[in-house]
Amino acid sequence: MKYWNLFLSLLLCYSLNAQNIKEKYKLADEYWHKYHSKYYNGDITPHWIGDTHFFWYRTTDAGGTTFILADADKKTKQPAFNHQALAQALATATAQETDARHLPFGEITFTGDLDAISFSWKGVVYTYSRKKNKITGRKPEEPRRGNGYWGGVDQENRKGSTLSPDRKKEAYINEGNLFVKDLESGKVTRLSQDGSPGEYYSSRIYWSPDSRQIACCKYRPAWVRKLRTVVSSPQDRLQPGMEERDYIKPGDALPIKKPVLFIVSEGRQIAIDFPGAEDQFSVGNIRWSPDSEYFTFDYNKRGHQEYIVYKASGHTPQAQVLIKEQMPTFIHYGRLYRHDLQKQKEILWISERDGWRHLYLYDAGRGLVKRQLTQGEWIVKNVLHVDESTRTLYFTGCGKTPGEDPYLEKLYSLNIDSRKIKCLTPENGNHRITFSPDYSYFTDCWSRVDCPPVIVVKNTADGSIRMPLEKADISKMLAEGWRMPEVFCAKGRDNETDIWGVIVRPTDFDPHKKYPVIEYIYAGPHDSFVPKSFSISPVDAALAQLGFIVVQIDGMGTANRSKKFHDICWKNLKDAGFPDRIAWLKAAAAKYPEIDISRVGIYGCSAGGQNALGAVLFHPDFYKASVAACGCHDNRMDKIWWNEQWMGFPVGKEYEECSNVTNAHKLKGRLMLILGELDDNVDPSSTLQVVNALIQANKEFEFVMLPNQRHTMGGTYGERKRRDFFIKHLQGLNPPDWNMD
């Protein structure tokens, strides 16, 4: 009888757990919709109209959505149109019932005179007269064009011509050579003789402002690697198919470009000479001086440790160095910035040469730094506008305010001559800025993950508030149990550097319980990733509802801090900031006993997939379970531009040392790999080679292949598999039997 009672007790416990888990899955599935419907006046995106000081935005309250038209000059706002009349007009035009507070579109476009708006619904563009309160026109919506495949190789041999600034001539490439046609006489002049199919002149043609010269690169193409994937389950037929994409990988040969100057009237060409032409990663960004005296071009040396802006002319065919960046590690060339001040013959330039990302003013004639415009232990993140008439520029900066999260973006103005900086958005938050067309006003939407948005209009001149717009209302969310995330800061591996992250707890959080921890990771060095603005579902709040504490952290090796902080990633992507992440989690657990760091899981996609697998290969004593989706597990297998930026060139031993394939035999703990079979961002073979290496090492793991899917975390099915995996391996419970539902 004793054993029977024990059996019944265990059976009852199992039944309660199974029922409880299903309820928690339901909470997770409904999380976003539950709280989104109670989030009022927070999701605001202002849209300035034409060249006016009017703008529109949408706002939501308990009754539904309202489109607002605001006037920054008069400091007024009102409904953008008669919502009831538009709903009635749309219902009449479509014979479908329409709710005035839940209109079936989210975007509108105003005519220049503000008399009418247009909007799209079900493939039709409607025009609605605000004065007549009726629909006055309709036409089929034009299909949106895609941006094309990111990895496509531009061979620079497109057809077409380039018109001269004076509109009297056009230049074009024919059979690899440059020709110019006089549009009045029809006369055609051949300017080059040495083009060939193997080394031709580029279709990117740059006329001088005076229409007398042309800068054009001689282009030597290189072999292009192809990525081939199998479409196992096509929608339109039974038999599988194949896809093929351009896909250049680290170490592959690259095209060579060399600028050539053509004096059109003389039919003369001048080859521009510069050192290291054969060692280039790229040559481009050709710009003429306003007086047509010279042009500049950028040289990015392969390996990304040297970046030079060269200056060349007919008088100086040996290119002269105008700006030179050199680093012992890497130059984050995708974040370089240049603005030419034409009247003063100066250049604004961003560099990390002093250890932080700052602005410099160059003499464009002599190539010398006139002065450093910003300095200190903070960064200039983005330059948004340069007003040459007042010698003022506007930029977003991070980390300038002591005591605040150094990743928060604020707007600053800078006087180029006095170097005086003024903060136009001093509020302690992350600021999203939208300027009016003439830059006299800007809308400022500021928030933090633990502070709901405030939206105002400000005067650009001094940052004073012109008019308030909205303040987000989360009272209904809080009443329904929504829980505010926590910003947490702790020291990193060196016990000195602040590491910042976010902690998300379940809505039914009980401080007397112990919770396993799941880290969402993306440690790509090109940026920082912990959310800084308010969100209903920061990080993965839905996952937390299953009984986890979910965190996200920016460790060393990511961007937007000092160069030293960033350099940790150099030829060392396996590091992924893990020593900082582990120190941060230990500090969080020391402060909050509910955090159980004996049960830590991790998941990520793409570079985050590489990181997530790396956690259980290189730090298995801390991370116990990992879900890695579409990871670039070996940087030799992934796209060239991302991987050579951080891992360097030539391909060295570091690539193998950082490889999850090479280190697969080190696996401890639990692992799930997810892969979209048609991934054209990261070569699917990157994951399949990990699978092979794990099998060869006789390791146990789970593998989910998703037919017809590309670069993905797994979608709805993958999310369910991820939840089941962590429920089983971090909570020790059996997930629901989905085949029985």
Summarised one tens digit per residue, pLDDT across range 539-571 is: 899 999 999 999 999 999 999 999 999 999 999
Whether 540 is in a domain gets the answer: yes
DSSP 86: H
Instruction: Evaluate if residue 359 carries a pLDDT over 70.
Output: yes
Q: How far is CA 667 from CA 262, 357, 490, in A?
A: 60, 39, 29
Mean pLDDT, to the nearest integer, of 143-148?
Answer: 75
> 594: how many CB neighbours lie within 10 A of its CB?
16
As a whole number of angstroms, the distance between CA 458 and CA 48 comes to: 14
Both tokens assigned to 657: 């040392």
Whether 19 is in a domain gets the answer: no
Same-domain pairing of 82 and 122? yes
Same-domain pairing of 190 and 294? yes
Same-domain pairing of 171 and 121? no
Same-domain pairing of 312 and 234? yes
Q: What is the spatial order of strands in the sheet that 161-163 belongs to?
A: 161-163, 169-174, 177-182, 188-190
Dihedral sign of CA atoms 629, 634, 636, 637 in order? negative
Both tokens assigned to 14: 């199992």
**Whole-number pLDDT of residue 658:** 98
Same-domain pairing of 157 and 111? no
> 61: how many CB neighbours lie within 10 A of its CB?
13
Contact 322, 297 (CB under 8 A): no
The CATH number covering residue 724 comes to 3.40.50.1820
Strand 409-415 relative to strand 392-398, pairing = antiparallel
Contact 480, 694 (CB under 8 A): no
Instruction: Convert the pLDDT of each residue in 603-629 to its tens digit.
Output: 999 999 999 999 999 999 999 999 999
Both tokens assigned to 188: 């055609």
Q: Which residues contact 657 (CB under 8 A, 6 or more apart)?
A: 574
Contact 358, 379 (CB under 8 A): yes
Contact 67, 77 (CB under 8 A): no
As a whole number of angstroms, the distance between CA 643 and CA 302 comes to: 12
Query: Cα angle at 199 between 197 and 201, to 5 degrees?
Result: 95
> 579: closest CA among 531, 545, 613, 622?
622
Global confidence as pTM: 0.94
Same-domain pairing of 136 and 213? no
Which residues, listed in sequence order, are joined to residue 283 by a DSSP beta bridge? 299
> 599: closest CA among 734, 732, 736, 735?
732
As a whole number of angstroms, the distance between CA 733 and CA 741 comes to: 18
**Whole-number pLDDT of residue 452:** 97
Whether 583 is in a domain gets the answer: yes
As a whole number of angstroms, the distance between CA 439 and CA 244 comes to: 46
Q: Which domain holds residue 127?
A: 47-140
b/e code 247-260 from CB counts within 10 Å (16+ = b): bbbbeeebbbbbbb
Whether 390 is in a domain gets the answer: no
Q: Which residues contact 236 (CB under 8 A, 6 or more apart)?
A: none
Same-domain pairing of 124 and 183? no
Instruction: Convert the pLDDT of each residue in 307-347 to its tens digit.
Output: 999 999 998 899 999 999 999 999 999 999 999 998 889 99
Please tell me the number of Cα atoms within 13 Å of 564 on its side-chain side: 6
Identity at 439, one-letter amino acid code: Y
Instruction: Evaluate if residue 8 carries a pLDDT over 90.
Output: no
> 225: closest CA among 198, 248, 253?
248
Task: Assign 94 to helix, strand or coil.
Answer: helix
**Whole-number pLDDT of residue 11:** 35
Look at residues 83, 115, 140 and tell me which one is the last residue of a structural domain. Answer: 140
As a whole number of angstroms, the distance between CA 512 and CA 671 comes to: 30
Both tokens assigned to 553: 């952290």
Contact 514, 596 (CB under 8 A): yes
Instruction: Evaluate if residue 1 carries a pLDDT over 60.
Output: no
SS3 content of the chain, % helix, strand, coil (to 5): 20, 35, 45
> 457: closest CA among 42, 73, 67?
73
Same-domain pairing of 696 and 667? yes
**Whole-number pLDDT of residue 145:** 75
Same-domain pairing of 582 and 489? yes
The DSSP element (H or E) to which 23 belongs, if any, is helix 2-36
Which residues, listed in sequence order, are joined to residue 158 by a DSSP beta bridge? none
Contact 453, 534 (CB under 8 A): yes
> 2: how many CB neighbours lie within 10 A of its CB?
6
Mean pLDDT, to the nearest integer, of 176-191?
Answer: 97
**Whole-number pLDDT of residue 661:** 98
As a whole number of angstroms, the distance between CA 140 and CA 126 comes to: 9
Same-domain pairing of 630 and 703? yes
Look at residues 112, 140, 168 and tell me which one is the last residue of a structural domain. Answer: 140
Q: How many domains does the chain have?
A: 3
Instruction: Convert the pLDDT of each residue in 227-247 to its tens digit.
Output: 999 999 999 999 999 999 999
Q: How confident is the model at residue 689 (pLDDT cuts 50, 70, 90)?
A: very high
Q: Which residues contact 739 (CB under 8 A, 6 or more apart)?
A: none
Whether 221 is in a domain gets the answer: yes
Instruction: Evaluate if residue 6 carries a pLDDT over 70.
Output: no
Look at residues 326, 353, 381 and tell me which one is the last residue of a structural domain. Answer: 326
- The C-alpha R_g of the chain, in whole angstroms, comes to 29
Q: What is the spatial order of strands in the sheet that 109-110 belongs to?
A: 109-110, 116-121, 124-129, 134-140
Please tell me the number of Cα atoms within 13 Å of 301 on its side-chain side: 18
Exposed (0-12), middle (13-18) or buried (19+): which is 465, by Cβ within 10 Å? exposed
- What proportion of the chain, given as a percentage, has pLDDT over 90? 91
As a whole number of angstroms, the distance between CA 512 and CA 505 comes to: 13
Strand 47-48 relative to strand 441-448, pairing = unpaired
Whether 739 is in a domain gets the answer: no
Q: What is the spatial order of strands in the sheet that 64-71 belongs to?
A: 47-48, 54-61, 64-71, 76-79
Same-domain pairing of 289 and 233? yes
Q: How confident is the model at residue 18 (pLDDT cuts 50, 70, 90)?
A: low
As a whole number of angstroms, the distance between CA 515 and CA 730 comes to: 9
Whether 212 is in a domain gets the answer: yes
Same-domain pairing of 619 and 721? yes
Task: Assign 651 to helix, strand or coil.
Answer: coil
Contact 595, 585 (CB under 8 A): yes
Task: Assign 169 to helix, strand or coil.
Answer: strand
How many helical (H) and strand (E) elements, i.e. helices and strands, does the chain have? 11, 42
> 320: closest CA among 341, 336, 304, 299?
299
Whether 372 is in a domain gets the answer: no
The CATH number covering residue 287 comes to 2.140.10.30
The DSSP element (H or E) to which 558 belongs, if any, is none
Q: How confident is the model at residue 13 (pLDDT cuts 50, 70, 90)?
A: very low
> 623: closest CA among 713, 517, 695?
517
Instruction: Evaluate if residue 14 carries a pLDDT over 60.
Output: no
**Whole-number pLDDT of residue 19:** 63
Instruction: Convert the pLDDT of each residue in 482-536 to its tens digit.
Output: 999 999 999 999 999 999 999 999 999 999 999 999 999 999 999 999 999 999 9
Length of the chain (residues): 741
Contact 594, 619 (CB under 8 A): no
Alpha helix stretches (DSSP H) within 545-628: 563-566, 578-591, 607-618
As a whole number of angstroms, the distance between CA 556 and CA 578 comes to: 8
Contact 286, 261 (CB under 8 A): no
Exposed (0-12), middle (13-18) or buried (19+): which is 244, by Cβ within 10 Å? exposed
Mean pLDDT, to the nearest integer, of 337-363?
Answer: 96
